[in-house]
């Protein structure tokens, strides 16, 4: 019997219905795309905390470099922060290190002076850096005198 068990065309048969998506399926896909776009956007943003942490890590490396040069030359080296940035006193002219922040809004909160050597062991010291664009954030660059300087978010 031909046609036995088949539905008449146009009555719920998927094969004859026009292809497409339901409104619910489209909304689910759009919601997934929106969440993925938001996630990528947040991952790519350079927040103030990241920027300030980068400043702290850079300063820690510069302080360790000056500390090593102080030990090698036997000259006392002092780091000082000022309104234009910072500078190293006591380094030979050939060993000049950068004296500016990566971001002009960065400054030091509290005392801005560190003694870096030439002794192998120095006293525990720290400096706190802040950025005027991100007032609630700060990074401490510190050493216990034996270990290298390290940056830590506060």
Question: What is the end-to-end Cα distance of the chain in Å, rounded?
Answer: 83
pLDDT at 5 over 60: no
For domain 26-153, give the fold: minor pseudopilin epsh fold (3.55.40)
Pairing mode of beta strands 77-82, 85-89: antiparallel
DSSP, res 93: G
* Phi, psi torsion values for 78, nearest 5 degrees: -125, 140
| Tens digits of residue pLDDT in 96-149 | 888 899 888 899 998 899 999 888 888 899 999 999 888 888 999 999 988 999
| Tens digits of residue pLDDT in 26-73 | 888 898 998 888 887 776 665 666 888 999 999 999 999 999 999 888
How many Å separate Cα 80 from the centre of its chain?
24
Threshold 0.75, pTM exceeds = no
Q: Where are the domains of the chain?
A: 26-153
């Amino acid at each position: 019997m031909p046609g036995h068990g088949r539905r008449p065309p146009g009555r719920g048969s998927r094969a004859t219905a026009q292809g497409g998506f339901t409104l619910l399926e489209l909304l689910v896909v759009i919601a997934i795309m929106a969440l993925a776009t938001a996630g990528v956007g947040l991952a790519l943003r350079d927040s103030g905390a990241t920027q300030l942490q980068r400043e702290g890590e850079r300063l820690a490396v510069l302080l360790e470099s000056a500390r090593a040069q102080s030990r090698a030359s036997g000259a006392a080296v002092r780091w000082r922060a000022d309104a234009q940035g910072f500078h190293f006193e006591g380094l030979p002219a050939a060993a000049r290190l950068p004296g500016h922040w990566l971001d002009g809004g960065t400054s030091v909160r509290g005392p801005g002076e560190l003694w870096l050597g030439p002794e192998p062991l120095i006293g525990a010291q720290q400096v706190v850096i802040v950025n005027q664009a991100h007032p609630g954030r700060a990074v401490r660059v510190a050493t216990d005198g034996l270990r290298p300087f390290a940056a830590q978010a506060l």
